[in-house]
Structure 1
Amino acid sequence: MAASSLSLSWVSRTISSKLNLPNVNESLQPTAFSANNTVKCLRETTIEEESHCQRRALLLGAGAITASLFPLSPLLAEEKPANYEAFVDTEDGYSYYYPSDWREFDFLAHDSAFKDRYLQLQNVRVRFIPTDKKDVHDLGPMEQVITDLVTHVYSSPNQFATIMNMQERSENGKNYYTVEFQLASKNFTVSSFATIAIANGRYYTLIVGANDRRWKRVRNTLKVVADSFKVLDI
């Protein structure tokens, strides 16, 4: 597979500073990236150590993120794929597919969520927060934004964060960033896709994931969910 190295030359900033908000823990021809030498980082508990942690992730990733093909799954504009249901929230302005055998459940601080009836770590959830940004491009370069999110927002203290892939896509004038990542702790490891978008004065985040032991089996199924996420004008 042909690939070209990309230089990661930016000053790292957390996503909270870009949105001017408190930190939150919690064409269809895409530009895509694959980290052959994955970016790993162990989050610490102090601000100074977190900055060191992120710099370490960026240094490890420098020169390792390369261009690659990251095919998209069917989107809501097309016919709904078999074995999926569509969730459409016209009031809050977003939609996505989820596996038809999943069930809705309450996920703290999220607007909607569905999970496998037997495996609770296998789920999708969506949340949004206010922002004065108009587009994900206003947050900065995809590599910078994704690294900040995974190492400072999605990961919890004492978790190793590994970024596997990054993807950008555009549809109907809306831009989306998607990342595939892994969070490993002493007791368990989970793998996930996260897709972010900005519209309607809101910063939307969809995360769909599973226990890492099942990731190879369900990855393609969950990728359909991540690729189907769309923001709607309200």
Structure 2
Amino acid sequence: NKITRSWVLHHKVWRASYSQLLPLFHTQRVPTMASLQNSPTKTLFLDSLPQLQKHSTLPCCRRGGISFLVKDAQAATSSTGSLSQDRPGRRQMLAVGTVAPWVVIFNQNSKSFAAETKKGFLPVTDKKDGYEFLYPFGWQEVVIEGQDKVFKDVIEPLENVSVNVIPTSKLDIRDIGPPQEIAETLIKRVLAPPSQKTKLIEAVQHDVDGKAYYTFEFTAQAPNYTRHALSTVSIGNGKFYTLTTGANERRWEKMKDKLHTVVDSFKIFNV
């Protein structure tokens, strides 16, 4: 449907949008929107950009001409201990043909993280990039070009969580700018298509184990739907991390507690 197609198309160009902001993380604080729009195109790219933007075909599931990969949902279990056990083939790619080199599924079940898993959620631990979070039981993992991890509801396309990771020379998110400034820039430049009307509701800073995170809430209005979303960003391991989750505005009241659990569970660890 139109909502699913719009969601997938937006996530496919996510990497390029982030790449345009990449030099900002290496040099100065995020400038105003006007200065971003007036900046010469050549100043928005680093030497390493071609490697980051390299595309490969994922000839797997196709809907409406858009390719993406759906992974089997994890089997139901009432024991958090069983979440930490490997299941043969769970992390095997279900694609035929060439798979992009950055699409690698890592061990998703850290025992220590699984012990803290809330009822109704499953843990994800990426040992290569150094992050972990929870997502609602029943969501499926899909592979979207330009995203590090994506899980989504099988019925409601706007109910999903995605993680994006890009390199940066900064050591702390506070080196780039304050929460509201960073939130507004990411929402307008990356987290929502330019055609959508966006509104920042709240942006705050919180610390976890001495690491600063910015968490913000916003809405993005399209002609046929409005998405209500939560994002959290942080810096560590020489990387800029962004986790975003959300739902259709009409289901926000029903989903907001789950989505807050997802965004609050996101943590970075040293690798």
Q: TM-score, normalised on structure 1?
A: 0.68
2-structure distance, mates of 1:137, 1:15: 16
- Name the structure 1 match of 2:203: 166
Tell me which residue corresponds to 2:244: 207
The equivalent of 1:85 in structure 2 is 122
Q: Deviations over 1:137-180 (max 9, x none)?
A: 11111121112111222221221111112121111121110111
Structure 1: runs of 5 or more not aligned: 1-13, 22-42, 49-75
Map of 1:182 onto structure 2: 219
Bigger radius of gyration among the two: 2
Please give the secondary structure, in 2, of the residue aligned with 1:108: coil
**Larger RCO (CA under 8 A, 6+ residues apart):** 1
% same residue: 34
Kept in 1: contact 2:159–2:246 (CA 8 A): yes
Mapped to 1, the partners of 2:195 and 2:128 lie a distance apart of 38
What secondary structure is seen at the aligned counterpart in 1 of 2:205?
strand
CA distance in 2 between partners of 1:190 and 1:209 (Å): 7
2-side partners of 1:187 and 1:101: how far apart?
Answer: 26
Query: Structure 1 or 2: larger strand share?
Result: 1
Q: What is the correspondence of 1:212-227 to structure 2 with a 5 Å cutoff?
A: 212-227=249-264
Q: Are positions 1:125 and 2:162 aligned together?
A: yes
Matched, 1:19 2:25: yes
User: How many equivalent pairs are there?
Assistant: 172
Task: Please list, as runs of the form range in 1=range in 2, the aligned pairs for 1:50-69 lying within 5 A after superposition.
Answer: none
2:262 and 2:172 mapped to 1: Cα distance?
21
**Runs of 4+ in structure 1 over 3 Å off:** 14-17
CA distance in 1, matches of 2:21, 2:213: 16
Tell me if the contact between 1:155 and 1:183 (Cα under 8 Å) persists in the aligned partners: yes
Q: In the alignment, is the contact (CA less than 8 A) between 1:107 and 1:125 conserved in 2? A: no
| Residue aligning to 2:5 | none
State how far apart, in whole Å, the 1-side matches of 2:170 and 2:115 are.
29
2:268 partner letter: V
Match of 1:47 in 2: 37
RMSD: 2.3
Q: Give the match for residue 198 of structure 1.
A: 235
Question: Does the C-alpha gap of structure 1 residues 78 and 177 become closer, same or farther in structure 2, counting only changes over 3 Å?
Answer: farther
Please tell me the residue identity of whatever aligns with 2:25.
Answer: L
Unaligned ranges ≥5, structure 2: 1-19, 28-32, 39-112
1:146 aligns with 2:136: no
Contact 1:93 1:232 in 2 (8 A): yes
